[in-house]
Amino acid sequence: MKNRLKVLRAERDWTQADLALALEVSRQTVNAIETGKYDPSLPLAFRLARLFGLPIEDIFHDQGQV
């Protein structure tokens, strides 16, 4: 699954550490999601969506999706 996390974070000038603290996860987890090494659970994806004020589908994209 691909995501726009890095772009959205950069637009707000947030560091990975800022985002990790807001989501109550480790910085490693934020980095792993950004690099596509780890797909977050649905609750964490919803937390991200709430934090950025966007629908989930504006942040995450299924790689099989056209």
Partner 1 sequence: MATHPPDTGAWASRMIRNTLGLAAWTAAWVASVALAAFGPGVFWNQQPVPTMLAIAFSVLIGVGMLFANKRNLQGLDELQRTIQLQAMAWSLGAGLVGGTAWSLFDRHDLVAVEAEIAHLVAFMAVVYVAGCVAGVLRYR
Using the structure block, give the residue that is written with the tokens 């990975």.
16
Residue 65 binds partner 1 (CB under 8 A): no
> How far, in Å, CA of 44 to CA of 19, rounded?
12
Residue 6 binds partner 1 (CB under 8 A): no
Closest CA to 6 of 51, 59, 47: 59
Q: Of all helices (H) and strands (E), which one includes residue 16? A: helix 16-23
Residue 4 binds partner 1 (CB under 8 A): no
What string marks each residue from 9 to 38 as x (binds partner 1 by CB under 8 A) or -? ---xxx---xx-xx-xxx-xx-xx----xx
Footprint on this chain of partner 1 (rule: CB under 8 A): 12-14, 18-19, 21-22, 24-26, 28-29, 31-32, 37-38, 40-41, 44, 51
